[in-house]
Amino acid sequence: MTEFNTRDLVTILPELVFLGSIGAILIVDLFIKPSHRIVTHVLSIIALAVTAGFVWSAAPAERVTAFGGMFVVDMIATTLKLAVLLTTALALVYGRHYMQERKLLVGEFYLLILFATLGMLLLVSAGNLVTAYLGLELLALSSYALVALNRDSAIAAEAAIKYFVLGALASGMLLYGMSMVYGATGTLDLARIVAATPNVQHPNLLAVGVVFIVVGVAFKLGAVPFHMWLPDVYHGAPTAVTTFIGSAPKLAAFGLAYRLLEDGLGGMSAHWSQMLAILAVLSLAVGNLFAIAQTNLKRMLAYSTISHVGFLLLGFVGATPAGYAAAMFYAVAYALTAVVAFGMIALLARAGFEADEIDDFKGLNQRSPWYAAVMATIMFSLAGVPPLFGFFAKLLVLKSAVDAGYLWLAIVAIVFAIVGLFYYLRVVKVMYFDDAIEGGTLVLPADRPLRWVLSVNGIALLGLGFASGPLFAWCNRAFGL
């Protein structure tokens, strides 16, 4: 039995501060009027900023564990936590006006997002199968409720039910895989699992457990063929909710994949790397081909997400530190790009008009050249056009796949990246070369923070493309490179 150590509380201090902040916001929100919901909004942003400060100040030079190895703090966790907190703050800024217009700006919107964020912070620091599952379920249960937040929408209700049923099935498979790994190794601690792998008495049991864990991870990432929930959820959820679940959780999913597959099952990499290679090919093919047929922008971005998961998995197939660093860089780049992509839809939407059809962006350049340029930058970054942020992210994961001996996989990824250019360029073509729909008007919200933050986020995609070196160096240092 491991004795309680007060130093463990120092290690987990950022999460404790964040949990205390959520409790305080919950109490404050009970006593404010709906017309004063801006208070909850500001307090949520402050809580995220303060937690980021604690994460930054508590970042250790070397790997630190707490509670008998159940909680891990290293540069990997620190990087992912800062990215999660930043992306969540951006999602809250982009979503406030949208939810307010539809009278959905309730305290639950903020509290569910904050609890989901807490789950992500726990997930990326998991040093034990129990911690990983606890963080995952806290994220998942909060996300199910967020999707169903608009009770008057049949589409949202249907999406939430699909998400819940399929999510429960995936969680069950993941838990079943964890139980098999425990049965084969006799421990739940990830470090002990990887140490026990070479000498397990039942290797077949461990191999089956690995298969179920890969299935669970693939579902959380949205990889094919476990992607069925993703287009419906992105389309059915309120755009403000889609902005959140379409960005930050992908960082947590990367953390889940790394903790389970490398930290815990690194000795089985010869088995799971082949499975991930197949999932990558399927995701690249289905994501890019199905996106071409979409007329709804949110569904198009959903299938785009599936294709990006394929690129993300390229960094895992070699099971090398360089590949993981490239995959982390890709996850950060995608999260910062996806959050502003959905933020653009939220910006142009208004009561009675969702702005989620591609045709809704017709003639945007004639009505607002600046936001047309921002949207074009987003589309080019997602497509991987140089010198934008997304280009360098794709280049690095492709290089890691080639260096790991997966040249064929890199070639497949390049082919489907070229295919993906079509549907991204279609949005740009609609904005610049099509006339606006007759009677259509663009009414930009008076919310200046939304407009300024979105503009800066869009410009950052270009700036980070030219200055991505420090961020990639940081990712390399996180994996000891």
**What do you get for the CA distance between the two ends of the chain, in Å?**
36
Contacts of 220 (CB under 8 A, 6+ apart): 136, 170, 249, 253, 256
- 3-state helix, strand, coil split of the chain in percent (to 5) is 75, 5, 20
pLDDT at 2 over 60: no
- Residues paired with 290 in a beta bridge: none
H-helix or E-strand containing 71?
strand 71-73
Per-residue pLDDT band at 464 (split at 50, 70, 90): confident
pLDDT at 437: 67
pLDDT at 442 over 90: no
Domain boundaries, the chain: 7-478
Q: How far apart are CA 359 and CA 338, in angstroms?
A: 20
Give the CB-side neighbour count of residue 217, counting CA atoms within 13 A.
Answer: 33
User: What CA–CA distances, in Å, run from 114 to 44, 85, 138?
Assistant: 8, 10, 10
pLDDT at 199: 84
Higher pLDDT, 267 or 288: 288
Q: How far apart are CA 123 and CA 200, in angstroms?
A: 27
Kindly state the percentage of the chain with pLDDT values over 90.
63
| Angle formed at CA 404 by CA 401 and CA 405, multiple of 5 degrees | 95
pLDDT digits (tens, 9 = 90+) for 27-43: 999 998 888 889 999 99
Q: Hey, what are 11's tokens?
A: 């290690």
pLDDT at 443: 65
pLDDT at 10: 86
pLDDT at 98 over 80: yes
pLDDT at 255: 93
Number of C-beta neighbours around residue 119 at 10 A: 22
Q: Identify the sign of the CA torsion 187, 222, 88, 40.
A: negative
Contacts of 403 (CB under 8 A, 6+ apart): 318, 320, 322, 323
Kindly state the percentage of the chain with pLDDT values over 70.
96
Q: How far apart are CA 430 and CA 274, in angstroms?
A: 40
Q: String of b and e for 246-273 (b: at least 16 CB within 10 Å)?
A: bbbbbbbbbbbbbbbbbbbbebbbeebb
pLDDT at 5 over 80: no
Q: How far apart are CA 56 and CA 15, in angstroms?
A: 12
Q: How far apart are CA 342 and CA 450, in angstroms?
A: 13
Closest-CA residue to 166 (of 216, 229, 215): 229
160 near 236, Cβ under 8 Å? yes
pLDDT at 252: 93
Q: What are the backbone angles phi and psi of residue 82, rounded to the nearest 5°?
A: -65, -40
Higher pLDDT, 419 or 464: 419
pLDDT digits (tens, 9 = 90+) for 316-355: 998 899 999 999 999 999 999 999 999 999 888 876 677 7
pLDDT at 468: 83
pLDDT at 365: 87
Averaged pLDDT for residues 222-239 = 91
Per-residue pLDDT band at 4 (split at 50, 70, 90): low
Averaged pLDDT for residues 112-131 = 94
pLDDT digits (tens, 9 = 90+) for 181-207: 999 998 999 999 988 888 888 888 999
Write down the mean pLDDT value for the chain. Answer: 90
Averaged pLDDT for residues 433-451 = 70
151 near 183, Cβ under 8 Å? no
pLDDT at 95 over 70: yes
pLDDT at 352: 65
pLDDT at 219 over 60: yes
pLDDT digits (tens, 9 = 90+) for 372-397: 999 999 999 999 888 888 899 999 99
Per-residue pLDDT band at 7 (split at 50, 70, 90): confident
Per-residue pLDDT band at 3 (split at 50, 70, 90): low
Q: How far apart are CA 217 and CA 136, in angstroms?
A: 10
pLDDT at 1 over 50: no
pLDDT at 446: 61
